[in-house]
Structure 1
Amino acid sequence: MGSTTSFGRFYETWFDQLHHLVHQLRQVPKPPTTQDDATHLCLLVDKLVNHYAEYYRVKSVAVERDVLSVFTASWASSLERSLHWIAGWRPTTLFHLVYTESSIMFESHIIDILRGLKTGDLGDLSPSQFRRVSELQCETVKEENAVTEELAEWQDGASEFMGSSCCSDIDDKIGRLVRIVLKADDLRLRTVRKVVEFLTPQQAAEFLIAAAELQFGIRFWGRNEDLHRHSL
């Protein structure tokens, strides 16, 4: 319980810092109007990606200590937990986000684009960028499916787990689950980094802001629903 409570406190602080970093990112002109703005934008994008990396570093310690508590995620709302894939968000969600944001921005700038003007935002993704998104999506789907199969195999052995009186068998079973969750988290972080890599700094900033806003919205709505349900 102690490690779960500790990670829950860390998550609250980390989430507040995410709000702060996204607020800073929103303040930078897009596209950057000066070299200083461009440098600042790159630094903030790196800082935000490193913020996610820090989350998974701390989470890995919590997983090693008590993977079952991380799976139940008491610090998350019921809505957040219902959307989880192996103790976190599904990596392929990021590609749907890129396509959605690109479509929205493309439509909002359609007149400028027809005039041959470059917007430089997610609505202005090049053919090579779209190709890289598609290739990375295919690779990620394969990895995601492989980890899902590992968890399914782990769950299929639940009867053996429940019927075992041998501590070493139980420890081995829990150890396998730890490795599955760490593998899923590694895929999540690698996917964020790879998407950011093939975007321009402006596009990466827009992508990270959209991803965070989705996270903020789900958490806010989920908490409100939980509060409303508990007050009935």
Structure 2
Amino acid sequence: MDTGLGTWNEPDGTTSKEVKTNPISVPGGHSENWEELHMADASPMTDTSTDDTDDRNHRLEGAQLVVRGASDSSDRSKEKTSDHKALRRLAQNREAARKSRLRKKAYVQQLESSRLKLTQLEQELQRARQQGVFISSSGDQSLQNGGNDAVAFDAEYARWLEEHSRQINELRSAVNSHVGDMELRIIVDNAMTQFDEIYRLKGNAAKADVFHILSGMWKTPAERCFIWIGGFRSSELLKLLVGQLEPLTDQQLVSICNLQQSSQQAEDALSQGMGALQQSLAETLANGTPGSSESSGNVANYMGQMAMAMGKIGTLEGFLKQADSLRQQTMQQMHRILTTRQSARALLAIDDYFLKLRALSSLWLARPRE
């Protein structure tokens, strides 16, 4: 049977078969060759391929949309993250600015406080200079301690003086406004109690440096002209007050005169005791055999002299205490003799007197010099 396959010989002697194309019978009486049939069969495949391509395109577009959506979402997420970071930075900046303002405010307050302290120290130093207080710059520790004790007392006295001035102003305002006797008595009693404070301060300072208190170096130069054993003479002060407290009753006048006389007698006794102490101290220091200090006998004599002199100087503190006690008792007795309003006027008069002395000192130190 003819299968349509032919044979031929290859140059190398092998046998090959030839394929022949025969017509194919198709129902309906039409016949097509294999190529036509192949082309006809290929047409549906082309349509299918087109559909597949469209599907792939649709899928690609969908994927692109998904990617684009994901990208947009990522961009929005980045924007949100960026906005969050920006807000956080702004909050941090505001907090840093707030802390900076607080630090600046605290620094300004500290500067103001330091300025006030410096001003106060300058004022105290100026007072010390006006009163002739000089601190030793030598290496002697004992001298340095004495100077420090003196400056400490001067500062305490300056504070006492400020408080005393405040109470006197309150008293003057009460007198001028004619307050009731009960209220005025309270103010007067407070002012009298404040005088007791200065005596306590002087007593403590005398234990450290009695010479500083006795010399009156804590007072102004004009006040030092009238100083007596570290303070004022009570008898002289009573003389000044009698003329300013009129009208006084006969009994009050007699009582004040008796108080003045007793104060004068006590002052004279203390002055005699101070004079005797000074003479005894001078004789103690003057006694001794002049000669070489290297001699053992002279050294012993010198040490004995210094020991006796130190013992005598120790009694100076006792004289100062007696003088302050006399001043304190005189003020208290005067307060008992006078009425409340008279006592108020007496305290104002005493303060005016010492205020004028301090003003005189300031004017004298500030006078023009040629």
TM-score norm. by structure 1 comes to 0.83
Give aligned-pair identity as a percent.
Answer: 24
**Deviation digits for residues 143-182 of structure 1, max 9, x if unmatched?**
1110010111011123234346334323311111111111
In the alignment, is residue 126 of structure 1 matched against residue 249 of structure 2? Answer: yes
| Candidates 7, 23, 27, aligned match of 2:173 | 27
Question: Deviations for 1:178-206, whole angstroms, at most 9, x for unmatched residues?
Answer: 11111111111111111111100000000
Question: SS at 1:75's partner residue?
Answer: coil
Q: Is 2:271 aligned against 1:148? A: yes
**Is 1:3 matched with 2:149?**
yes
Please name the residue that 1:15 is paired with: 161
Structure 2, unaligned stretches of length 5 or more? 1-146, 287-301
Name the CA distance, whole Å, in 1 between partners of 2:284 and 2:210: 15
| Correspondence for 2:183 among 40, 44, 47 | 40
Matched, 1:68 2:191: no
* Match of residue 178 from structure 1: 317
Distance (whole Å) between structure 2 residues aligned to residue 128 and residue 75 of structure 1: 38
Correspondence for 1:84? 227
Q: Which amino acid aligns with 1:201?
A: T
Deviation (angstroms), 1:31: 8.8
Residue 51 of structure 1 and its aligned partner are, at CA, apart by: 0.8
Once superposed, what is the RMSD of the aligned Cα atoms? 1.8
1:19 to 1:168, Cα distance in 2 relative to 1, 3 A? same
1:109-156 per-residue CA deviation (whole Å, 9 max, x = no partner) reads xxxxxxxxxxxxx32211110111111111111111100101110111
201-210 or 180-189: bigger deviation:
180-189
Structure with greater Cα Rg: 2
The one-letter amino acid paired with 2:169 is H
Which whole-Å CA distance do the structure 2 matches of 1:133 and 1:218 have between them? 24
Give the whole-Å Cα distance in 2 for the aligned partners of 1:29 and 1:193.
Answer: 20
- Asked if the contact 2:235–2:261 (Cα under 8 Å) also holds between the matched residues in 1, the reply is no
Change (3 A) 1:158 1:137: same
2:210/2:317 contact within 8 Å kept: yes
The corresponding residue for 1:216 is 355
In structure 2, how many angstroms separate the alpha carbons of the residues matched to 1:9 and 1:161? 36
Q: Kindly tell me: are residues 30 and 125 of structure 1, through their superposed partners in 2, closer, same or farther at Cα, counting changes over 3 Å?
A: farther
Provide the residue aligned with 2:365 in structure 1: 226
Whole-angstrom distance in 2 between the partners of 1:63 and 1:203:
33
Contact 1:86 1:184 survives alignment (8 Å): yes
Following superposition, the deviation at residue 58 of structure 1 comes to 0.8
Q: Which has the higher helix share?
A: 1
1:51 matched residue in structure 2 = 194
Identify which of 157, 160, 163 aligns with 2:283: 160
CA contact (8 A) 1:95 1:133 kept: yes
Conserved 8 A contact 1:31-1:202: no
* Displacement of 1:52: 0.8
Aligned-partner residue type, residue 172 of structure 1: G
Letter in 2 for 1:213: D
Write the mapping of 1:186-201 to structure 2, written as runs, cut at 5 A: 186-201=325-340
C-alpha separation in 2, matches of 1:93 and 1:31? 30
In 2, are the aligned partners of 1:78 and 1:226 still within 8 Å (CA)? no
Asked if structure 2 preserves the Cα contact closer than 8 Å seen for 1:62 and 1:70, the reply is: yes
**Is the contact between residue 77 and residue 226 of structure 1 (CA under 8 Å) also seen in structure 2?**
no
Instruction: Identify the match of residue 205 of structure 1 among 339, 344, 355.
Output: 344
Q: Distance in 1 between matches of 2:190 and 2:239?
A: 24
CA distance in 1, matches of 2:357, 2:171: 20
Amino acid at match of 2:195: Y
